[in-house]
Amino acid sequence: MKNTFKTLLAGSVMALSAGVATAADKPATIKAVGTWGSLTNFQKHEGPFWNDKIAEASGGTIIGDIKPQTELGLKGFEIMRLVKNGVFDFAFGLPGYVAAENAIFEGGDLSSVTQDIETQRKVADAYFPTLEKAFEETYNAKLMMLYPFPSQTLWCNAEVNGLADLKGKRIRVYSTTLGDFVEGAGGTSVTVPFAEVIPALEKGVVDCGITGTMSAYKAKWHQVATHAYTLRVGWGLAFGAMNLDKWNKLSDAQKSVLETEIKSLTDNMWNETATEDEVAIACITGGKCDIGEPGAMKLVEPTAEDLAARDKIANEVILARWAERCGEDCAANWNKTVGSILNLEAKAK
């Protein structure tokens, strides 16, 4: 009888162990949202990573399924709320779209303060812990990565030959900090969804629009705009974040492979973006273009006076307004992290 009991007990333990192993080995499906389906970041990185790469790298223990926000018909501000509610497991997006929840999200890409991509990566790394905490507290999400879109510059269907010409112009923006730049330059900021910018330029609803260099080319802004004013006013820093409940359900092995592969993805995206400005600007202004038909916009490069005026706006308007929105503690944290890299101080007036 004792032997029979021992046999049954051993069998039960083995069955339980097998059940645990089976549960641990069960593939995790990650439902994700990407950025714009027509742009490089989704086509070459976000999409392939979730639809193909992660399954291969994880040996089939993680299965991704991603669609761009454009295909899903979603607006930027909706996406992280859907991740918080568990409708999606992972999302790529821009902090500017979630800044309405808390101005702290803007701090990694304040308009005009960072002028080269190497410095922007240092800024992103320095501000990562701040954003990591904000994503967890606001969206119950784990921040997994920060990556850039190309330089954010100005594309105008009006005569613009320098920063002074922005005065009185209506300029499309997609974030508060870009609006601060426009207003600091004497223009009027207008919020227009990306898909509606071309008709807005055609109809004179706006005189100029701000977006990334490659984004402008891929969206064919050169078909309606005349002047490409390449004053860099931001980077379009983007994030990748995962629902924390979903993350916590992954096995240690799944978490490890996901972190490793996302680090590789992040590096690839920074490296790709570093090459896109030169290619896009050449294409959009009638230069050598190996990726499509060239445009014929007039290339307007900023003068030394323009750059000095932009820096003045960054210090006196952009940083001051953001410090006011974000609060004293928030600004003090920025000064210790990002500000120490840029030798700038965010201080409300």
> Which residue has 């307004």 as its token pair?
321
Nearest to 238 by CA among 166, 145, 313: 145
Which helix (H) or strand (E) covers residue 17, if one does? Answer: helix 2-25
pTM reported for the whole predicted model: 0.87
Per-residue DSSP letters for 233-269?
EE---EEEEEEHHHHHHS-HHHHHHHHHHHHHHHHHH
User: What domains does the chain contain, in order, with CATH numbers?
Assistant: 13-149+236-274 (3.40.190.170), 152-235+277-342 (3.40.190.170)
What's the alpha-carbon Rg for the chain, to the nearest Å? 23
Query: Is residue 8 over pLDDT 50?
Result: no
pLDDT at residue 201, as a whole number: 97
Give me the mean pLDDT over the 27-42 stretch: 94
**What whole-number distance in Å separates Cα of residue 124 and Cα of residue 312?**
23
> Which residue has 């426009």 as its token pair?
182
Structure confidence by residue, pLDDT tens digits, 278-314: 999 999 999 999 999 999 999 999 999 999 999 999 9
Which helix (H) or strand (E) covers residue 209, if one does? Answer: strand 208-212
Q: H helices of 85-234, where?
A: 117-139, 176-184, 197-203, 213-218
**What whole-number distance in Å separates Cα of residue 258 and Cα of residue 264?**
10
Count of C-beta atoms within a 10 Å radius of residue 248: 9
pLDDT band at 19 (very low <50, low <70, confident <90, very high): very low
Query: Is residue 252 over pLDDT 50?
Result: yes
Chain centroid to CA 138: how far?
Answer: 17
pLDDT at residue 100, as a whole number: 85
